[in-house]
Chains A and B, each alone.
Chain A
Amino acid sequence: MPKHSRRLLRGLGLVCALALGATACGGSDDDSGDKKVGSSDIQSALKKGGTVTVWAWEPTLKQVAADFEKKYPKVDIKLVNAGTNNDQYKALSNAISAKKGVPDVAQIEYYALGQYALTKQITDLKAYGAEKLASSYSPGPWNSVKSGDGVYGLPMDSGPMALFYNKKVFDKYKIAVPTTWDEYVEAARTLHKADPKAYITSDVGDAGLTTSLLWQAGSHPYKVDGTKVGIDFTDAGAKKYTDTWQQLIDEKLVSPVTGWTDDWYKGLGDGTIATLPTGAWMPANFASGVKGASGDWRVAPMPQWEKGANASSENGGSSLALPELGKNKELAYAFVEYANSGAGVQTRIKNGAFPATTKDLNSPSFQNTEFPYFGGQKANKIFAESAKSVPTDWKYLPYQVYANSIFNDTVGKAYVSSTKLTAGLKSWQDASVKYGTEQGFTVEK
């Protein structure tokens, strides 16, 4: 009997070892050959043809892919929606660690790009001449696709910030549109006093909004130099933000409604949420999600942290990048350039995208587009102006995706307890430092 059970065990061990061997194949072999790819190489690749798999959730790419295939009949673009942001990053990370099924092109948001660039999971596009495109993009997005001296993607869209406000509510209570954040707080007080159900905006703690406001205030909470990372939420810019926002929280002037919920859409529609500082990609969401309030809303430049200043920041936006393990790199780059710098840009603008290319941002036809939802206002003028005034020295963490996921665990406390915003940011900083250290970064505190 003992002999048999030993044999059984050996058999089981074998089964387990096989199962483990099949699934646990990490490792990291490095083959980053720095070869230059000229435009002639790309042209010949386009003539030869092939298949390019693109993972993206951006809806306007569908038409671009069709146009590209028409122009280069031998190229087949396979557009796959592998999920929106986090879901797609999960799928992409899984595919990369399995070294199987990795797409040739992937949509990656600016705040998530750093992680893939740092771990060399996406290709430096300098070899394909991407550097030459630097001057054709607005500074915010271009700065976001750069990491070190590499260029890791081409900007697809951007989200220069603006203040969306409900003009009907502002007119009703005779409140002037705020041009500074101090005036914004004043407006919040006046409005809430006049109608206790109405709030200047809704905020329950959103990492994207907070980082964008810090960006606008000239704060530099993140310092990134390769694998060296610094995190500090106490500089002068951050102080401007915490001082102002703490007043809004303390006096209960922001509505405690979570963004993108039914309550939130209702609030935007019925005037109980009177403004929304967010990215230029918002109009399409207004038109589809808050149909009833069509004509009530307008767009204004962002309130300033200092009177007379002219600073803005970016909120959201994404790029197309080439995963290192993808195939048909020349074709993939040709498609990315077509979609994000060439003729594809116009196609995407027509379908509602907000571009990152200065030429299109400044073109009269773009700037003179009237938005029926905003009462015929030429909102693109404000967005384009905002895109020009984005400070270019902002950096996200190389693991911003994770950091954002714990924002409400830490900073969120400031919204529901006596914890101050500064203390909340401090614990976010500590948790981010802890994670960075665990992940092998050199983190200075």
Chain B
Amino acid sequence: MTTLQPPVAVRRRRSWTGWGFIGPFVLVFALVFLAPLAYSVYLSLFRTQLIGGTTFVGLDNYQQALQDSQFWEGVARVGLFLLIQVPIMLGIALLVALAIDSGRLYGKDFFRITVFLPYAVPAVVATLMWGFMYGTRYGLVGDLDDALGTKLPDPLSADLVLASIGNIVTWEFVGYNMLIFFAALRVVPHSLYEAAEIDGAGQWRVITAIKLPAIRGALVIATIFSVIGSFQLFNEPAILQKLAPNAITTDYTPNFYTYSLSFAGQQQNYSATVAIVMGVITMIVAYVVQLRGMRKGA
């Protein structure tokens, strides 16, 4: 043993030099990224009861989550939201980006700033503002009813509230996505457009044959961000719940459900489990989107 030590010591010193360089990063990475994740996984293996205290339950919480109809209804709800709201939002963003990029728009800087501005409004403020406008009594909808003598449907009723949330999210994020698309469009070499013109291609042809293929990467990125954003829907329903307590349940979206479990029900363990399961689902869906997006590109 002792005779073997010197060479080992030499090797260790060499290895520590390398660790010295990446050590600070590894430390921060471990503390900031790995430790919270590990702690959540650790939490999800226990169950704390008012009667009986904390016990180790293995994967019981996961089994419960997989059979939890409240959780899956939330997942289905954000899934529906994703399928309808994301295409609308990205479609509008793309349209605006193409319009601004076409160079035929008068005052395009003004439009660019105006469309982007809502993104600068914090989500909480935006939701409060929209919540007020949705009011059928003293809000904008109520004022419209009074002025026009109509009876508009209540945007905060149980049937419409998901669409109303979609409207808020679209308003908030069209500008952000537009900027991603617009930035991607700016780097398309102008020689391509000139070549297309020489070949006699119209604007529509330029868009489908040059612009869209050129920004496919940006489209995929924006879609992935939107998928993640939809699955993490929380602010809007959490704030509107105060105005429409019967339309928005405490398990309305998976994120809202984990919040309620943890803060109203003191079920931190199960809450951690639901969060982890939702995280895995989000990762899978985002990965599938990425694979499909990239395969088309190849």
Contact = CB atoms under 8 A, between A and B. Distances in A.
Interface in B209-250: 242-247, 249-250
Nearest to A398: B50
A258 B245 contact: yes
B49 interface: yes
B28 to A, nearest CB: 11
Interface in A1-52: 4, 8, 12, 15-16, 19-20, 23-24, 26-28
A291 interface: no
B51 interface: yes
Nearest to A408: B245
B53 A28 contact: yes
Contact of A19 (B31, B251, B260, B264): B31
A409 B249 contact: yes
Given A405-B264, A435-B265, A440 B35 contact: no
B280 to A, nearest CB: 20
B63 interface: no
Given A8-B26, A15-B35, A227-B51, A412 B264 contact: no
B57 to A, nearest CB: 11
Given A4-B15, A402-B266, A435-B265, A23 B260 contact: no
Interface string B48-64: 11111110000000000
A406 B247 contact: no
A438 B47 CA distance: 9
A171 interface: no
B49 A204 contact: no
B103 to A, nearest CB: 47
A401 interface: yes
Interface in B132-174: 135, 137-138, 157-158
Given A263-B138, A401-B264, A438 B53 contact: no
Contacts of B249: 408-409, 412
B266 A93 contact: yes
B264 A205 contact: no
Contact of A23 (B30, B39, B135, B264): B39
A88 interface: no
A43 B198 CA distance: 101
Given A12-B30, A204-B245, A409-B249, A417 B50 contact: no
Contacts of A90: 263
Given A16-B34, A19-B31, A263 B137 contact: yes
A319 to B, nearest CB: 20
A285 interface: no
Contacts, number: 101
Nearest to B43: A24
A399 B267 CA distance: 12
Contacts of B35: 15-16, 19
A26 B137 CA distance: 49
Contact of A438 (B26, B49, B138, B251): B49
B38 interface: yes
Contacts of B53: 26-28
Contacts of B246: 204-205, 408, 412-413, 415-416
Interface residues of B, number: 39
Nearest to A411: B246
A interface: dominant SS = helix
Contacts of A401: 264
A402 B265 contact: yes
Contacts of B265: 402, 405, 435
Contacts of A205: 245-246
A365 interface: no
Contacts of B50: 115, 118-119, 398-399, 439-441
Contacts of A23: 39
Interface residues of A, number: 45
Contacts of A149: none
Contacts of A12: 26, 30, 34
B25 interface: no
Given A26-B48, A398-B50, A20 B243 contact: no
Interface in A398-445: 398-399, 401-402, 405-406, 408-409, 412-413, 415-417, 435, 438-441
B287 interface: no
A261 interface: yes
Among B50, B260, B266, find the residue whose CB has the most chain A CB atoms closer than 10 A.
B50
B51 A263 contact: no
Interface string B118-142: 0000000000000000010110000
B111 interface: no
A62 interface: no
A15 B30 contact: yes
Contacts of B243: 258, 261
Nearest to B244: A258
B100 to A, nearest CB: 39
A251 to B, nearest CB: 18
Nearest to B14: A4
A262 B243 CA distance: 10
A441 B51 CA distance: 6
A406 B27 CA distance: 42
A439 B27 CA distance: 38
A20 B38 contact: yes
Nearest to A119: B50
Nearest to B51: A440
Nearest to A4: B15
13 contacts: A12-B26, A15-B30, A20-B38, A24-B39, A204-B246, A263-B135, A266-B138, A408-B249, A409-B251, A416-B157, A416-B246, A417-B158, A439-B51
Given A12-B30, A15-B31, A440-B49, 18 more contacts: A15-B27, A19-B31, A19-B38, A26-B53, A26-B54, A28-B53, A93-B266, A118-B50, A119-B51, A205-B246, A258-B243, A262-B138, A263-B135, A402-B266, A416-B157, A417-B158, A440-B51, A441-B50
